[in-house]
Amino acid sequence: MATSTPAKTVTTPIADIGRSPLRSSSRSPVSRRIGRVLGYIALAIAAAGVLLPFFWMLMSSLKTNNAVFTIPIQWIPETFVWSNYVEIWQKSDMTTWLKNTMVLALAVTALQVFTGSFAAYGFSKIRFPGRDLLFLVYLGTIAVPWQAYMIPQFILMSKINLSNTLWSIIALQAFGAFGVFLMKQFYETVPEELSEAARIDGLSEYGIYRRIMLPLSVPALASLTLLTFVNTWNDYLGPLIYLRSPEIWTIQLGLKSFVGQYNAEYALIMTGSVLSVLPIAIIFMVGQRYFVEGIATSGLKG
């Protein structure tokens, strides 16, 4: 069986140049195109199915409150209440919520990505005693459900006077084990020869981290950035406990304020939810190519 020999670049035999790498030449162009069209149709149907809830959310954001939940499901509103999109800015503090959520998401993401990747380098590339045990401790905390230690954590945060400030959420989320774990796994895919070569060239470990590891792990960094951003953006339980004053509410908290004791303005909740998904969708669509066009070469020359 073919064994992988990564150290050398390979020249393609002349006879293979021009041959489409993914298809053997026995299929006719027509059947290939039909296959592709069918594939696209299948993908489109799947995408439609996957996007269905968002479509309902969008449609519901244009209904009246009592028309959101009906039997049977109303996919298209009877009357389009476009004013909901105006009302939500007037009736609620959407701008403040957006601002707070953005601040939190950016701060937490930046801190998680940098301290996490920094720590991950230490865990993956440097051997020191107790390393594996410490890493297991990190992993272990992921395994503990947050509800369980939420109250002791809250007491601790209140004692150091962080609760009811945006700093509380930043502090809580920025130093989690998730980022460390993710980056460590990606650093492990980078062959040791690279670092060895750099060390021989006289680079310090910090230099290796900055000059070699970071650029190589752009896809992983991009993933971590996106995932941390999304998690912070959608976080509800954390802000519920720590962000009490209305001035520091995030979007998720603010939307819940439309659920009163005896009534709920569901249409506006849907409007707010749609508005809160849009920034992320845009960021994703724009940024997702970083997952593909990350590394140009593996840097391994013969």
- Window 217 to 276, contacts with another protein (CB under 8 A): 219-220, 222-223, 226-227, 230, 234, 237, 240-241, 244-246, 252-253, 255-257, 259-264, 266, 269-270, 273, 276
Instruction: Provide the angle, in degrees to the nearest 10, between the axes of the packed helices 166-174 and 94-125.
Output: 30
- Stretch of residues binding another protein (CB under 8 A), selected from 26-34, 102-110, 171-179, 193-201: 171-179
> Least Å distance between CB 99 and another protein?
19
> Least Å distance between CB 234 and another protein?
6
Neighbours of 207 (CB within 10 A): 13
Placement of tokens 């035999």 in the chain:
13
Q: Which of 35, 140, 207, 215 binds another protein (CB under 8 A)?
A: 140
Contact between 284 and 259 under an 8 Å Cβ cutoff? The reply is: no
Interface of this chain with another protein, residues 195 to 214, rule: CB under 8 A? 205, 209
- By beta-carbon proximity to another protein, the closer residue of 85 and 175 is 175
Instruction: Provide the angle, in degrees to the nearest 10, between the axes of the packed helices 177-187 and 218-234.
Output: 160
Give the C-alpha separation, 158 to 281, whole Å: 35
Give the C-alpha separation, 148 to 146, whole Å: 5
Contact between 251 and 232 under an 8 Å Cβ cutoff? The reply is: no
Q: Which of 131, 199, 207, 215 binds another protein (CB under 8 A)?
A: 131
For residues 19 to 48, the per-residue mask of contacts with another protein, x marking binding by CB under 8 A and - elsewhere, is --xx-----------------x--x--xx-
- Stretch of residues binding another protein (CB under 8 A), selected from 26-34, 58-66, 101-109, 195-203: 58-66
Placement of tokens 């940024």 in the chain:
287
Asked if 83 is part of the footprint of another protein (rule: CB under 8 A), the reply reads no
Question: What is the C-alpha R_g of the chain?
Answer: 25
- By beta-carbon proximity to another protein, the closer residue of 89 and 246 is 246
The site that binds another protein (CB under 8 A) totals a number of residues, namely 135
Amino acid at 283: I
Placement of tokens 């980056």 in the chain:
183
